[in-house]
Amino acid sequence: MGQKILVVEDNELNLKLFCDLLRAHGYEAEAVRDGREALERARAFGPDLVVMDIQMPHISGLELIEQIKADAGLRRTPIMAVTAYAAKGDEERIRDAGAEGYVSKPISVLRFVEAVAGLLEAATARAESEPEASEGEAASEQLFPGESRDPDGCDEGEGEGELDPGLRRDDAGPKGETP
């Protein structure tokens, strides 16, 4: 099976669409309908990517992104936000919370699949290009009870602050951001 993607989405039709698209492209997709279960499911599933709806009942996707990025075992997992939010400043708020990618609803199927592939490729490249942590660094990393370092290397690569400029909203071109 391919790379593992956790899909957190409360809308059944969107959840089915995302999971079907991912599976059709060779990914292993795990569906989470209730955001309150997302962090625990992510820890158990060990995804290579999280696709996160932002507007959900009970807990917002922004809160979940922050929780995932605060978790020692998940913080390096890239997150792609998929949301109907399209107001000025929403993309910036979502990226500030820790999401590496952003796609607006309604999605373009092609853009969605391209964004997923791009984030996974970037995460793999970061993991391969960063030197192994020395024993001292590894020992100083805080792990929570029941957690361990990921032996397959998925735990490598910081990636925070590195945004793929090609992963913009479907309806917008490059933005005039100040470097």
Task: Quote the CA–CA distance of 96 and 48 in Å, as a whole number.
Answer: 20
Backbone CA torsion sign across 13, 90, 173, 26: negative
Would you call the peptide bond into 106 cis, given omega within 30 degrees of 0 as the criterion?
Answer: yes
Task: Quote the CA–CA distance of 123 and 47 in Å, as a whole number.
Answer: 12
Neighbour count for residue 76 (Cβ, 10 Å)? 19
CATH at 56: 3.40.50.2300
The per-residue pLDDT for 131 is 64
Q: Which of 1-5, 65-69, 138-142 has the lowest mean pLDDT?
A: 138-142
The per-residue pLDDT for 66 is 96
Above 70 in pLDDT, residue 68? yes
Report the share of the chain in percent with pLDDT over 70: 72
Residues spanned by the domain of 122: 4-140
What is the rounded average pLDDT of the residues 1-13? Answer: 94
In a domain, 178, yes or no: no
What is the rounded average pLDDT of the residues 23-37? Answer: 97
Digit-coded pLDDT (tens) for 136-162: 344 334 333 444 444 333 333 333 333
pTM comes to 0.72
In a domain, 174, yes or no: no
Domain count for the chain, please give it: 1
The per-residue pLDDT for 87 is 76
In a domain, 61, yes or no: yes
In a domain, 39, yes or no: yes
